[in-house]
Amino acid sequence: MKHALIKAAAFAPMLAGALLASTSPVLAKTAAKTAYDGVWLFDDTPPTPGVTMMEVTSKGGKIAGSVTTKWYGPIEMMNPHVEGGVLKFEARNLNDRDHLTRQWSVAIESGRAHLKGQIWESEVDSTGRPGTAKDAKARAFKFTALPPLGAPIPSKLAATPPMGWSSWNKFADHIDDKTVRAMADALVSSGLRDAGYIYINIDDGWQGERDAKGVLQPNAKFPDMKALTAYVHSKGLKIGIYSSQGPKTCAGYIGSYGHVKQDADTYADWGFDYLKYDLCSGEWFYADADTVKRSYYEMGKALQEAGKRTGRDIVFSLCEYGRFDVGSWGRDVGGVLWRTTGDITDDYPTMAKIGFDKNGNPAWAGPHGWNDPDMLEIGNGGMSADEYRTHMSLWAMSAAPLMMGHDLREMSPETLAMLTNRRVIAVDQDALGVQGKPVRKAGSLEVWAKPLSDGRVALALFNRGDSAAPLALTPADAGLASVDGVEDLWSGAKAGALPAGYQVPARGVVMVAVRGTK
Ligand code: GLA
> CB count, 10 Å around CB of 334?
24
Spatial distance between the Cα atoms of 518 and 459, rounded to a whole number of angstroms: 16
Ligand 1 midpoint to CA 345 (Å): 11
Percentage above 90 pLDDT, the chain: 93
Ligand 1 midpoint to CA 467 (Å): 33
For residue 377 and ligand 1, the question of a CB distance below 6 A is answered with no
Model confidence at 33, in pLDDT bands (50, 70, 90)? confident
For residue 5 and ligand 1, the question of a CB distance below 6 A is answered with no
For residue 343 and ligand 1, the question of a CB distance below 6 A is answered with yes
For residue 319 and ligand 1, the question of a CB distance below 6 A is answered with yes
Higher pLDDT pick, 30 / 464: 464
For residue 372 and ligand 1, the question of a CB distance below 6 A is answered with no
- CA-nearest residue for atom 3, ligand 1, is 343
**pLDDT on residue 452:** 98
> CB count, 10 Å around CB of 342?
14
Rounded average pLDDT over 137-164? 97
- CA-nearest residue for atom 4, ligand 1, is 168
Pocket test of ligand 1: the residue of 201, 343, 403 to mutate, having most ligand atoms within 8 Å of its CB, is 343
pLDDT tens column, 95-137: 999 999 999 999 999 999 999 999 999 999 999 999 999 999 9
**pLDDT on residue 61:** 83
pLDDT tens column, 374-428: 999 999 999 999 999 999 999 999 999 999 999 999 999 999 999 999 999 999 9
pLDDT tens column, 249-299: 999 999 999 999 999 999 999 999 999 999 999 999 999 999 999 999 999
Model confidence at 26, in pLDDT bands (50, 70, 90)? very low
Model confidence at 20, in pLDDT bands (50, 70, 90)? very low
Q: Which residues are catalytic, by number?
A: 278, 343
330 burial class (0-12, 13-18, 19+ CB within 10 angstroms)? Answer: buried
Whole-model pTM: value is: 0.93
Strand partners, 69: 51, 73
**pLDDT on residue 299:** 98
Rounded average pLDDT over 446-452? 98
**pLDDT on residue 344:** 98
The least confident of 19-33, 75-89, 126-140, 321-335 is 19-33
CB 341 within 8 A of CB 361: no
CB 119 within 8 A of CB 91: yes
For residue 250 and ligand 1, the question of a CB distance below 6 A is answered with yes
Rounded average pLDDT over 169-174? 98
Pocket test of ligand 1: the residue of 165, 166, 203, 372 to mutate, having most ligand atoms within 8 Å of its CB, is 203
For residue 168 and ligand 1, the question of a CB distance below 6 A is answered with yes
**pLDDT on residue 5:** 31
- CA-nearest residue for atom 5, ligand 1, is 250
- Does the pLDDT of residue 1 top 60, yes or no? no
Q: Which ligand 1 atom is at minimum distance from the Cα of 276?
A: 10
Output the CA angle 279-281-282, nearest 5 degrees. Answer: 55
Which distant-in-sequence residues (6+ apart) come within 8 Å of 97 by Cβ?
Answer: none
- CA-nearest residue for atom 8, ligand 1, is 343
pLDDT tens column, 287-335: 999 999 999 999 999 999 999 999 999 999 999 999 999 999 999 999 9
Spatial distance between the Cα atoms of 197 and 237, rounded to a whole number of angstroms: 8
pLDDT tens column, 328-384: 999 999 999 999 999 999 999 999 999 999 999 999 999 999 999 999 999 999 999
For residue 251 and ligand 1, the question of a CB distance below 6 A is answered with yes
- Does the pLDDT of residue 432 top 90, yes or no? yes
Ligand 1 midpoint to CA 185 (Å): 25
Ligand 1 midpoint to CA 405 (Å): 12
